[in-house]
Chains A and B, each alone.
Chain A
Amino acid sequence: MKLALKIWRQNDASSKGKMVDYTVEKIEPDMSFLEMLDILNDELIVKGEDTVAFDHDCREGICGMCSLFINGEAHGPDRLVTTCQLHMRKFKDGDTIYIEPFRAKGFPVIKDLVVDRSAFDRIQQSGGFISVNTSGNTIDANTIPIPKHDADKAFDAATCIGCGACVATCKNSSAMLFVSAKVSQFSLLPQGKVEAKERVLNMVNQMDAEGFGNCTNTGACEVECPKGISLENIARMNREYLKSSII
């Protein structure tokens, strides 16, 4: 395949960026999207040009490091995948592909397609944990039975990889799917109930302080989430938040 690429280039957070045109040839359907970018970068090096910076690491859809807005969609046109799992068989010879960073006030650009998502870490630091020290003297793991249904639901929420696709997709740049996934995981488990009130209040406060918007129920985040995190989690977080605010 021969493809035309329009890629966002920006030197650093303070400089202005623009879309730049590139062409790649001999792209095979079995290649991953990021392997296609590897090929482009190797060509740029040989030509003596600066490479296109993009974040990536595990390349198997689990670390959450890769991002990219491809043809107007977070993680590209496929569903339930991250960009690193997107394969070129989803494109046709002669296609033009627009590649942009995840854009949000809370995600400033570092370079080209790389953004700073440390706001997510700070939200987790504000309450995304259960306060137990490591001692080796906690109670036996099977002391408290947890209904399978609750454990499974907690697991589903916990599979969030913190990539930020929800924020990038949302017209309000809301981080509520991300925050609610963590709140839900812990609120569904007996271990998490002790600090449930402080947790949801602190995490939502931090989310607001980082400049993320609110949820207006468009559901775009759920559609683009590579891990299929359900909108139901946002409803659960709102319930937890309300409960914690009035009691």
Chain B
Amino acid sequence: MALDSKTPTGPIAEKWTHYKDHINLVNPANKRNLDIIIVGTGLAGGSAAATLAELGYNVKAFCFQDSPRRAHSIAAQGGINAAKNYQGDGDSTFRLFYDTVKGGDYRAREANVHRLAEVSTNIIDQCVAQGVPFAREYGGLLDNRSFGGTLVSRTFYAKGQTGQQLLLGAYSAMNRQIGRGKIKMHNRHEMLDLVIVDGKARGIIARDMVSGKIERHSAHAVVIASGGYGNVFFLSTNAMGSNVTAAWKIHKRGAFFANPCYTQIHPTCIPVSGDHQAKLTLMSESLRNDGRIWVPAKLEDAKMIREGKLKPTQLAEEDRDYYLERRYPAFGNLVPRDIASRAAKERCDAGFGVNKTGEAVYLDFAAAIERYGIDQARLKHLDENDKQLVIKLGTEIVANKYGNLFQMYEKIVDEDPYSTPMMIYPAVHYTMGGTWVDYNLQTTIPGCFSIGESNFSDHGANRLGASALMQGLADGYFVLPYTIGDYLAPDIKMGKIPTDSTEFEAAEKNVVDQINRLMNNGGSKPADYFHKKLGKIMWDKVGMSRNEKGLKDAQQEIAQIREDFYKEVKIPGTSDSFNPELAKAMRVADFLELGELFAKDALHRNESCGGHFREEYQTTDGEAQRDDENFAYVAAWEYKGNPSDAVLHKEPLSFENVKLVQRSYK
């Protein structure tokens, strides 16, 4: 099957407008005859549900949490990009497009990224109209900050809780439609299979997680907005419930899975403290605006610090190695995430790590506190040479900007980050790969769409900070509502899709069989036991840096764990009741398949690009070495039974508006 991206022709800046002018529309009276299922209620799913319901479609939305407001978009801290150019610093739609394609290491589809940049400004307008309380300046206008990989300030934010505020905006828009009866919300439900009738997605099988009841739901189209699969690593900044299940189930039904190996390892997370750990916590990238990253310059100092004999504040300036500022003078601490993460690993692997495990670097605010303090002292006509006063004034400013993040850090680590540098280390955070979609955000299954983090399309091999929120809302508010209408236009006279067909019956049986197999296998180990084993292999061999041997081993080891899992897993309780362990085991089963495909994809990509770093392919100074001649394509995998049998399809990427160069932030 040849992949057709269905990218419109014409100049890049006119594609989306031209497309919108020529698609089929569904008239308002007919929209009420069409049903749409949306799985997931984060920024993408929530905004899509609200908008499609406003347009008049009947929406059935599903989430596994107890309320749509709790989707993990809520945890995004730093901000959302938009090419508003409110700061007059030279930003434009083209620049946002360019930065995103370059930041993604030239592995994204140009037309999608340009559309994203185009609609970015509408997102900010829409959210403000909804009452999202973005940060403002004293003049009452919106404030911006700068993020990694860019040279302009285009990031809008609400303290360190931007994702929360944007999600609550989408949630409020959903609530309005739930109240009107246009969205039927199914909380505490998990999608467990996709139903295809006559070649088109026409429904899902879902489990009511309270009663355990298996339910059939039909619709004229199905939208997957279930987020990313970072939890394949067990430890990640994703929520405990974040899973690949919905995306994996459609993959098994025919949707190609693209670039699974493109994973973002975020440079600023709180380091792992022990084996008991269930999840990792992110410290927003916005902290790199003001924090300086360093390790001791001398190995003996690093050793003393690890043993608790030396404090970081005792180290003189010349004994510190601000390695990002040293290696990348142009971007300094604001290099993109993949680069900052690898640089931290490189220093720690070389023995300069600063916590007990040797896997941590410092993020230091002392210089920022002093700088802000002096500013304030001057502003208030106070003595700028009074060190204590300067620190007090500077601390107030830093607290105002990042207070909730500092508080979060202190609660977890039990150290005061105002007086001693934070310790950070990279952790799995976001997955750029996902279900393959065309320009319409449609998967390779007609009528099955994928939006937000669950698709692959906009971030290439590395996502820039503050772009995930932008993409989720762009897809849901401004892109899908057009493209899905074009798809649904021929279906207006179809009427309700019956759920008593053989296709629904077969899909339901598939789900019930899997549940019974897991419940009745008589094992003795918790699902987490296998999940942790999988996570360790993923982190050690398919993590920040990868090599051929490790990837080959990983594939075999994961296949073995999967076999053991089905023999030895133990699920307590019953399947017809509230059973969190059953839900967990079903997710782990899917991660055990995805993990192997992930390693297979990483092994086949004989180059380094963005978040995918193969040790065999690096420049002499240790930077990622792309191979544009052989690998400038999207790797879309077709399911064939076992992950090892997956068949590769290639979507060639052509760059007509951005010149491919070695990415440099020096």
A contact set with B: CB distance below 8 Å = 11-12, 28, 30-32, 34-35, 38-39, 41-42, 44-46, 48-51, 53, 55-65, 78, 80-81, 85, 87, 89, 110-111, 114, 116-118, 120-121, 124-126, 128-136, 138-142, 145-148, 151-152, 154-155, 158-159, 161-162, 185-186, 189, 191-192
Contact = CB atoms under 8 A, between A and B. Distances in A.
Given A46-B525, A49-B572, A63-B65, A130 B70 contact: no
B220 interface: no
Contact of A80 (B277, B278, B282, B407): B407
A131 B176 contact: yes
A142 B573 CA distance: 55
Given A39-B276, A81-B411, A136-B126, 6 more contacts: A11-B577, A85-B408, A85-B411, A129-B176, A142-B142, A191-B131
Contacts of B463: none
B164 A159 contact: yes
Contacts of B282: 60
Contact of A62 (B164, B176, B277): B164
A20 to B, nearest CB: 15
Nearest to A131: B176
Contacts of B572: 44-45, 48-51
Given A65-B65, A130-B129, A147-B140, A34 B278 contact: yes
14 contacts: A32-B412, A34-B278, A38-B528, A46-B570, A50-B572, A50-B573, A132-B126, A134-B47, A134-B54, A134-B126, A134-B478, A141-B124, A151-B134, A155-B133
Select the residue from A56, A59, A131 with max chain B CB neighbours within 10 A. A59
Contact of B580 (A30, A51, A117, A126): A51
A130 B65 CA distance: 24
Given A57-B72, A59-B240, A158-B165, A12 B66 contact: no
Contact of A61 (B133, B273, B408): B408
A134 B526 contact: no
B126 A118 contact: no
A135 B282 CA distance: 33
List the 6 closest pairs (A to B, CB-CB), nearest first.
A145-B140, A129-B172, A136-B122, A155-B133, A125-B179, A141-B128
B281 interface: yes
B175 A62 contact: no
Interface string B53-82: 010000000000111111110110000000
A45 to B, nearest CB: 4
B408 A148 contact: no
Interface SS of chain A:
loop
B263 to A, nearest CB: 19
Contact of B51 (A34, A53, A134): A134
Given A51-B581, A78-B411, A35 B54 contact: no
A111 B526 CA distance: 20
B311 interface: no
Given A59-B279, A63-B74, A154-B133, A142 B126 contact: no
B172 A59 contact: no
Contacts of A45: 525-526, 570, 572, 581
Interface of B: 47, 50-51, 54, 65-72, 74-75, 84, 86, 119, 122, 124-131, 133-142, 158-159, 161, 164-165, 168, 171-173, 175-176, 178-179, 185, 187, 210, 237, 239-241, 273-274, 276-279, 281-282, 407-408, 411-412, 414, 477-478, 481, 524-526, 528-529, 570, 572-573, 577-578, 580-581
A45 B138 CA distance: 56
A128 B171 CA distance: 9
A45 B50 CA distance: 41
Contact of A65 (B70, B136, B281, B481): B70
B139 A58 contact: no
A60 B129 contact: no
A57 B171 contact: no
Nearest to B411: A85
Given A51-B572, A158-B168, A141 B130 contact: no
B239 A85 contact: no
Contacts of A145: 136, 139-141
Contacts of A138: 122, 125-126, 128-129
A130 B279 CA distance: 35
- Residue picked from A56, A121, A161, most chain B C-beta under 10 Å: A121
A158 B134 CA distance: 11
Contacts of A56: 240
A30 B72 CA distance: 24
A158 to B, nearest CB: 5
Contacts of A147: 136, 140
Contacts of B241: 57
A136 B119 contact: yes
B187 A118 contact: yes
B443 to A, nearest CB: 23
B172 A155 contact: no
Contacts of A124: 69, 171-172, 175
B84 A148 contact: no
B539 to A, nearest CB: 18
A191 B580 CA distance: 41
Contacts of A142: 84, 86, 141-142
Contacts of B172: 124, 128-130
Contact of A57 (B135, B168, B178, B240): B240
B579 to A, nearest CB: 8
B434 to A, nearest CB: 21
Nearest to B571: A45
B40 to A, nearest CB: 13
B50 A87 contact: no
B210 A41 contact: no
A231 B138 CA distance: 26
Contact of A42 (B66, B131, B412, B528): B528
Contacts of B279: 59-60
B313 to A, nearest CB: 22
Contacts of B130: 129-130, 132, 191
Contacts of A159: 161, 164
Nearest to A112: B578
Given A28-B274, A85-B412, A141-B142, A121 B67 contact: yes
A12 B577 contact: yes
A197 B385 CA distance: 53
B133 A59 contact: no
B381 to A, nearest CB: 22
Given A53-B580, A61-B408, A87-B412, A130 B131 contact: yes
A138 B127 CA distance: 10
B120 to A, nearest CB: 11
A191 B161 CA distance: 21
A121 to B, nearest CB: 5
A78 B54 CA distance: 43
Nearest to B238: A58
B72 A125 contact: no
A134 B65 contact: no
Contact of A59 (B138, B140, B239): B239
Given A85-B412, A139-B129, A162-B67, A60 B142 contact: no
A152 B143 CA distance: 12
